[in-house]
Amino acid sequence: MVKKTSKVKSISKTSSKAKNSSSIQERFAAMRNQINTTEQAFQLYDSLETVEVDFMMGSWKGSGFPTGHTMDGALETFHWYGKNFEDADNVHPLVFRSLTKKLFKVNPALMPVRLATIIPNKNLGFLGYIFLMIRFLFTTYKSKARLRLTEFRGKITATMIYDQLPIHDVFRKVDENTLLGCMDYKGMKEFFFFVLERDVKQ
């Protein structure tokens, strides 16, 4: 009888966890299509599971998670594809897509990242096409970041550490193929949030 009761409790806990996970995913889906405050974004972020380094391997498509940050839409303006993780010590933090759909990697140290944290991204679409025309000035074949476990907001999780910039992208898991990232850039007033979705075709 004791064993039967224990089994019922175990099933109840599993069911409760599944419902909670479903609720979080629904909340995430709604929030990524609206402008949120940084506080609201962190409320969701803090409710998500942490991520191990091995989980990150492969190619991930990037997209925005709006919070009214000056960088909202900036990467998309330049035809951002996402990120690529070869192994813990070889990471490509900025991967873009050409007009012919060819992927190319960029050295973040050569990009005006700091400027994007100050100047709002408005009516700058033309810059994206100029960037593609001169992309050879920024292209690299070398990895420009690495992955490590770090503590952020009281939890230890996978973090992408840039080689040449004071930036940590800290990840939490929405589901097996979706991540919510938080950019912690030294000197930036507000944290920047973004989404990564596993590219199963790569």
Instruction: Identify the bridge partners of residue 60 per DSSP, sorted by sequence position.
Output: 83, 198
Report pLDDT for 15: 55
The CB-side HSE value for 180 (13 A sphere, CA atoms) comes to 27
What pLDDT digit, counting tens, does each position of 55-72 carry?
A: 999 999 999 999 999 899
Report pLDDT for 124: 64
Per-residue pLDDT at 14 exceeds 80: no
pLDDT band at 82 (very low <50, low <70, confident <90, very high): very high
Q: How many separate domains does the chain show?
A: 1
Per-residue pLDDT at 1 exceeds 70: no
Cα 32 from Cα 17, distance rounded (Å): 23
Residue 2 counted as domain residue: no
Provide the residue range defining the domain that includes 99: 38-198
* Residue 135: CATH number of its domain: 2.40.128.580
Residue 66 counted as domain residue: yes
Report pLDDT for 4: 41
Q: Between 114 and 16, whose confidence is greater?
A: 114
Q: How many CB atoms lie within 10 A of CB 163?
A: 15
Residue 18 CB contacts under 8 Å (≥ 6 apart), including other chains: none
Q: What are phi and psi of 152, to 5 degrees?
A: -145, 125
pLDDT band at 121 (very low <50, low <70, confident <90, very high): low
What pLDDT digit, counting tens, does each position of 166-198 carry?
A: 999 999 999 999 999 999 999 999 999 999 999
Residue 28 counted as domain residue: no
Query: What percent of the chain has a predicted confidence (pLDDT) above 70?
Result: 84
Per-residue pLDDT at 6 exceeds 50: no
Cα 108 from Cα 105, distance rounded (Å): 9
Q: What predicted TM-score, i.e. pTM, was given to this entire model?
A: 0.85
Mean pLDDT, rounded, of the chain: 88
Q: Between 178 and 117, whose confidence is greater?
A: 178
Average pLDDT over residues 127-145: 88
Q: Supply the DSSP string of 38-49, one letter for each residue.
A: HHHHHHHHHHSB
Exposure class string for 64-103: b at 16+ Cβ within 10 A, else e: bbbbebbbbbbbebbbbbbbbbeeeeebbbbbbbeeeeee
Residue 16 counted as domain residue: no
Residue 99 counted as domain residue: yes
Residue 163 counted as domain residue: yes
Question: DSSP H helical segments within 51-121, as ranges?
Answer: 74-77, 113-116
Average pLDDT over residues 26-52: 97
Q: In terms of C-beta density within 10 A (0-12 exposed, 13-18 middle, 19 or more buried), how is residue 155 classed?
A: middle
Residue 107 counted as domain residue: yes
Residue 146 counted as domain residue: yes
pLDDT band at 16 (very low <50, low <70, confident <90, very high): low
Report pLDDT for 69: 93
Report pLDDT for 87: 98
Residue 72 CB contacts under 8 Å (≥ 6 apart), including other chains: 64, 66, 121
